[in-house]
Amino acid sequence: MADSSTNRSSATGTAPVLVASNRGPVSFSTADDGTLTLRRGGGGLVSGLSAIEDPNAVWVCAALNDSDRRAAAGAPHGRLDLAGHEVGGQAVRMLDIDPQTFSRAYNGVANSTLWFVHHLLYATPTAPAFDAGFRTEWAAYQAYNEAFAEALAAEAAPNAAVLVQDYHLSLVPALLREARPDLRIGHFSHTPWAPPEYYRLLPDDVARAVLTGILGADRACFLTHRWARAFAACCEDLLEATVDHDALTVTFDGRTTLPQPSAGGTPTRRTTLPQPSAGGTPTRRTTRLGVHALGADADFLRERAHRPDVDERLAALREAVGDRRTIVRVDRTELSKNIVRGLQAYRHLLRTRPEWHDRVVHIAFAYPSRTDLAEYRNYTAAVRDLAAAINDEFATPTWQPLILHVDDDFPRSLAAYRLADVALVNPIRDGMNLVAKEVPVVSDHGCALVLSREAGAHAELKDDALTVNPYDVIATADALHAGLTMSPEERADRTKRLTAAATALPPQQWFLDQLNAL
């Protein structure tokens, strides 16, 4: 007899609200004695979900490591037992996806391809090259998305609301709609969206599958209007979809035309392909686009930033810095965060403005991220090398100009936020960048914010930030100087306004707004 949880056409579960994301609200590690230890995840989505009051809500996520897999395997009916842990009221279903499939989908497609496209990270003379290896990864990405769609279809009550998160799960909305047309489906992109000229780097079928996958949602949501417009432009350009720029909708009739290569490889004719939907029959659907600018969680941050573990780290940092000014940055060690150019800007400041020698310390926290990928490991090495070179060039027996830490320590990050005179947030491109919103909220005495115009947060913070072109090292050094010399009154005034803008849409409201709009 067929297992009803995998019967995609008739299965209905009991959850009225579901969230799906690659990384879930909890993760596990294995202690020396072999027992599993649970840790609550951070981030806006975890805070946002605390707004759900329904105890039947379900969060579907992937097992990310062997400890997660052990926990998932031992979970009754696939649901983790979270009793006694402060992780919100919802049930968590962790999918035990075969490790090779998971790695190809997460590392190969999501992080090495879609992430690179949306953040414009390729050095195009040599990359990308979509070869046979990529095709294997793409097949894994499809299987991984199917596993999520099946789990959601099995868990969802009739007419349930399903909020699918991010570029890992771009195929899920269309797959889920096919299995469960009764559901209300939202998709949220936490990344930027690439402009069409860059998005077209993807193989044509992949580019279309990602767009039509997301268009399976009733609402496709973004962190800023800029990313929503870029998505709409890709739909117009690659799918010939109809975009209503005022109502912010995309209408797609399920057909797309594309050139077919002739024997000589030159496109000669155009043919009509069906959308990957019910039985291949083209259907006309309109997807609404939404913009929800996730804000900082002020209540959580203020309370957390004044606990004893943060005070302790603040005292240690104060001792290291003395009465000097501070420039603070806190990031994942992530290619898009532009840490290397940030360090180059600091070096330029010290080289061209010797008045800052012995009067400033740059505190840079770059905690590990995606270390399975060689690009990320190499980038971490480049950050370390440049940091060491700056200290070699300028340090004196009594002054260390740069303090770099590459291990994750959340209380120490909050301590640095409190201490910051200047915050440096200079990404090449960023969906939002919550650090830019968090520092003003937590800062003890007000801080100047040097902010890349390519961060989503810039749309809301630009009036009171010092805006920089992230590629312009000299202009960034000038902005650091402007931040360091800003009067305390101006800094405090700007910080007040930055805080108001940064907290305009707290995570819980951000989440409820999306739910209510579905």
Query: Containing H/E element for 476?
Result: helix 473-485
Assess 103 for contact with ligand F6P (CB under 6 A).
Answer: no
Nearest approach in angstroms of CB 110 to ligand F6P is: 8
Cβ nearer to ligand F6P, comparing 345 with 439? 439
- Are the CB atoms for 361 and 403 separated by under 8 Å? yes
- The CA distance from 298 to 462, in Å, is 20
Site for ligand F6P in 402-461 (CB under 6 A): 431
Find the binder of ligand F6P among 191, 212, 275, 499 (CB under 6 A): 191
Find the binder of ligand F6P among 23, 226, 325, 377 (CB under 6 A): 23
Assess 507 for contact with ligand F6P (CB under 6 A).
Answer: no
168: which 2 tokens? Answer: 């890992």
Amino acid at 115: W
Find the binder of ligand F6P among 150, 166, 297, 460 (CB under 6 A): 166
485: which 2 tokens? Answer: 């010399």
Angle in degrees, CA 285, 516, 195, rounded to 5 = 50
Cβ nearer to ligand F6P, comparing 63 with 349? 63
Assess 369 for contact with ligand F6P (CB under 6 A).
Answer: yes
DSSP 416-484: HHHH-SEEEE--SSBS--HHHHHHHHH-SS--EEEEETTBTTHHHHTTTSEEE-TT-HHHHHHHHHHHH
Nearest Cα to 235, choosing from 258, 210, 218, 260?
210
Backbone angles phi, psi at 37, to 5 degrees: -115, 135
- The CA distance from 15 to 158, in Å, is 9
Cβ nearer to ligand F6P, comparing 369 with 467? 369
Assess 187 for contact with ligand F6P (CB under 6 A).
Answer: no
Cβ nearer to ligand F6P, comparing 91 with 434? 434
Assess 362 for contact with ligand F6P (CB under 6 A).
Answer: no
- The CA distance from 252 to 241, in Å, is 5
Assess 190 for contact with ligand F6P (CB under 6 A).
Answer: yes
Assess 101 for contact with ligand F6P (CB under 6 A).
Answer: no
Cβ nearer to ligand F6P, comparing 155 with 166? 166
Cβ nearer to ligand F6P, comparing 401 with 427? 427
- Sorted by sequence, the CB contacts under 8 Å of residue 246 that are 6+ apart come out as none
Nearest approach in angstroms of CB 121 to ligand F6P is: 13
Assess 292 for contact with ligand F6P (CB under 6 A).
Answer: no
Assess 287 for contact with ligand F6P (CB under 6 A).
Answer: no
DSSP strands (E only) in 280-380: 285-291, 325-332, 360-367
Nearest approach in angstroms of CB 334 to ligand F6P is: 8
Assess 377 for contact with ligand F6P (CB under 6 A).
Answer: no
Count interface residues toward ligand F6P (CB under 6 A).
8
Neighbours of 73 (CB within 10 A): 11
- The CA distance from 115 to 436, in Å, is 21
List residues binding ligand F6P (CB under 6 A).
23, 43, 166, 190-191, 369-370, 431
